[in-house]
């Protein structure tokens, strides 16, 4: 039988060898790319987790440190006010003003702590935290929101509760900022061995493909960050929207992850 070189000549063999070499190079590039994207994803998950732990620590310190100190000063002022004689009208007024200022600062501190890390998320769990957030959001935006969240027993892990809470927070923030909605709904429910989250609004909707990528990349970080948080938990993120048809964000994450 004639050899390949005899049939196609030495240049054909060289071509095949070059093509083969290129394929091997491409395969190894793809492997390198896959491995660096895995490392990047792991890093992003670690950064998010560290950020959440920092937020929780700062919230605790603000609440226990500054919050307690302001409350103590307010009580001291009240005690001092009671010792003032009837002639000290001007001083009494200043005490009243100072107490009012402390009350306003305490209220601002409470909002800040809530925003950094809602206390209900640590004490009562995801469902209660979302209900509290829904009430606060409705009051602030005037948009009616319904929260139907299942109570998981035992509670979901810290990182799952945190990620799902932040996803709902961003979806509602988008509804408030862009949707001109009159109603919004949050649903959290178990779906066999997964937990599913749906955040829906009946607002103006948008063209998902056109609005998420401008010439310079994504428009905002909200949608990307929801998707990233779901992916960090081994879950999936999906958004459905069309102009005039409202917006629905769906997330599904596994309850148990292999190797954890
Ligand atoms: N519920 C919604 N209703 C209408 N449009 C929306 C809704 N959610 C997102 N969009 C559109 O998608 C775009 C991208 O949303 P994304 O959350 O990523 O960014 P953003 O809200 O503009 O900024 P950021 O979240 O970084 O503060 C928005 O600018 C808006 O045009
Ligand atoms: Mg946003």
At residue 70, the pLDDT reads 96
Work out which ligand 1 atom sits closest to the CA atom of 246. Answer: 3
pLDDT of 3 higher than 80? no
Summarised one tens digit per residue, pLDDT across range 125-165 is 999 999 999 999 999 999 999 999 999 999 999 889 999 99
At residue 257, the pLDDT reads 75
Summarised one tens digit per residue, pLDDT across range 200-209 is 999 999 999 8
Considering the domain architecture, whether residues 102 and 210 belong to the same structural domain is answered as: no
Considering the domain architecture, whether residues 93 and 179 belong to the same structural domain is answered as: no
Considering the domain architecture, whether residues 52 and 108 belong to the same structural domain is answered as: yes
Considering the domain architecture, whether residues 175 and 195 belong to the same structural domain is answered as: yes
pLDDT of 238 higher than 80? yes
Q: Mean of the pLDDT values across residues 74-103?
A: 93
pLDDT-derived band at 77 (thresholds 50, 70, 90) equals very high
CA dist 228 and 246 (Å) reads 23
What is the chain's mean pLDDT, rounded?
91
Is the N-terminal amide bond of 44 cis, ω within 30° of 0?
A: no
Distances (CA, A) of 252 to 44, 102, 174, 238: 19, 44, 19, 9
Considering the domain architecture, whether residues 206 and 94 belong to the same structural domain is answered as: no
At residue 213, the pLDDT reads 67
> Mutate which of 220, 229, 237 to test ligand 1's pocket (most atoms within 8 Å of Cβ)?
220
Ligand 1 near 179 CB (within 6 A): yes
Give the whole-number percent of the chain exceeding pLDDT 90.
74
pLDDT-derived band at 221 (thresholds 50, 70, 90) equals confident
Q: Structure tokens of 195? A: 């937990």
Strands 247-254 and 194-201: antiparallel
Considering the domain architecture, whether residues 160 and 67 belong to the same structural domain is answered as: no
At residue 173, the pLDDT reads 96
Describe the strand order of the beta sheet including 183-191 as a list of residue ranges. 144-149, 183-191, 194-201, 247-254, 236-241
Where helices occur in the chain by DSSP H, the ranges are 4-8, 10-61, 68-82, 89-116, 119-123, 126-141, 158-174, 208-212, 222-232
Ligand 1 near 237 CB (within 6 A): no
> Mutate which of 145, 166, 174, 227 to test ligand 1's pocket (most atoms within 8 Å of Cβ)?
174
pLDDT-derived band at 9 (thresholds 50, 70, 90) equals confident
At residue 7, the pLDDT reads 60
Q: Helix or strand or coil: residue 189?
A: strand
Ligand 1 near 201 CB (within 6 A): yes
Summarised one tens digit per residue, pLDDT across range 19-72 is 999 999 999 999 999 999 899 888 888 898 898 899 999 999 999 999 999 999
pLDDT-derived band at 259 (thresholds 50, 70, 90) equals low
At residue 45, the pLDDT reads 85
Question: Which of 50, 85, 117 corresponds to the end of one domain?
Answer: 117
Distances (CA, A) of 22 to 15, 28, 30, 127: 11, 10, 12, 54
Question: Which of 117, 147, 173 corresponds to the end of one domain?
Answer: 117
- Ion ligand 2: residue ranges with CB closer than 5 A: 174, 220, 222
Residue 211 structural domain: 125-254
Considering the domain architecture, whether residues 131 and 101 belong to the same structural domain is answered as: no
Q: Helix or strand or coil: residue 3?
A: coil
pLDDT of 192 higher than 80? yes
Residue 205 domain-assigned?
Answer: yes
Question: Which of 117, 149, 183 corresponds to the end of one domain?
Answer: 117
Distance 173 CA to ligand 2 centre (A): 6
Nearest to 156 by CA among 114, 122, 133: 122
Considering the domain architecture, whether residues 40 and 133 belong to the same structural domain is answered as: no
**What's 184's domain CATH number?**
3.30.565.10
pTM for the whole structure: 0.81
Q: Mean of the pLDDT values across residues 80-90?
A: 91
Considering the domain architecture, whether residues 154 and 76 belong to the same structural domain is answered as: no
């Amino acid at each position: 039988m004639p050899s390949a070189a005899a049939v196609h000549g030495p240049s054909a063999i060289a071509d095949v060898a070059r093509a083969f070499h290129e394929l091997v190079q491409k395969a190894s590039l793809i492997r390198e790319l896959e491995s660096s994207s895995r490392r990047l994803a792991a890093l992003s998950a670690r950064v998010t987790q560290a950020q959440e732990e920092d937020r929780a620590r700062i919230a605790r310190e603000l609440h226990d440190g500054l919050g307690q100190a302001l409350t103590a000063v307010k009580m001291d002022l009240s005690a001092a006010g009671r010792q003032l004689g009837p002639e000290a009208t001007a001083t009494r007024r200043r005490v009243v003003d100072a107490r009012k200022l402390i009350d306003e600062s305490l209220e601002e501190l409470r909002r800040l702590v809530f925003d950094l890390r809602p206390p209900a998320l640590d004490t009562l769990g995801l469902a209660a935290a979302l209900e509290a957030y829904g009430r606060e959001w409705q009051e602030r935006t005037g948009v009616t929101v319904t929260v139907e969240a299942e109570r998981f027993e035992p509670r979901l892990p810290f990182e799952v509760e945190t990620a799902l809470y932040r996803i709902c927070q961003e979806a509602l923030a988008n509804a408030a900022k862009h949707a001109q909605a009159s109603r919004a709904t949050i649903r959290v429910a178990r779906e066999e061995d997964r937990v599913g989250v749906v955040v829906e609004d009946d607002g103006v909707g948008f063209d998902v493909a056109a609005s998420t990528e401008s010439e310079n990349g994504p428009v905002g970080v909200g949608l990307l960050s929801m998707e990233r948080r779901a992916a960090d938990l081994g879950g999936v993120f999906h958004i459905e929207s069309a102009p005039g048809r409202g917006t629905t964000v769906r997330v599904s994450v596994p309850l148990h992850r292999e190797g954890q």
